[in-house]
Amino acid sequence: MKTVVYMVRHGESPKNDRNERTRGLTAQGMLDAHQIMLLLKNEAIDFLRPHTRDFSHE
């Protein structure tokens, strides 16, 4: 079985909102996130959310 690891950072968020867990993304961050989604949409990916530490299969 082959394992492939994709490392993707979060999209750009507003610099003036210090609440890391609830702040959203800038327009550029939304565009970047959408482009990554398009690139990886056909992959079977397990991902980790660093704040909640839960795994998902989507």
Q: pLDDT by residue (tens digit) across 1-44?
A: 888 888 888 788 888 767 777 778 899 999 999 999 999 999 88
What is residue 56's DSSP assignment? E
Of 53 and 19, which is predicted with more confidence? Answer: 19
Q: Is the pLDDT of residue 53 over 90?
A: no
Q: How far apart are CA 35 and CA 31, in angstroms?
A: 6
Q: How far apart are CA 55 and CA 26, in angstroms?
A: 26
Answer yes or no: are the C-beta atoms of 45 and 35 closer than 8 Å. no
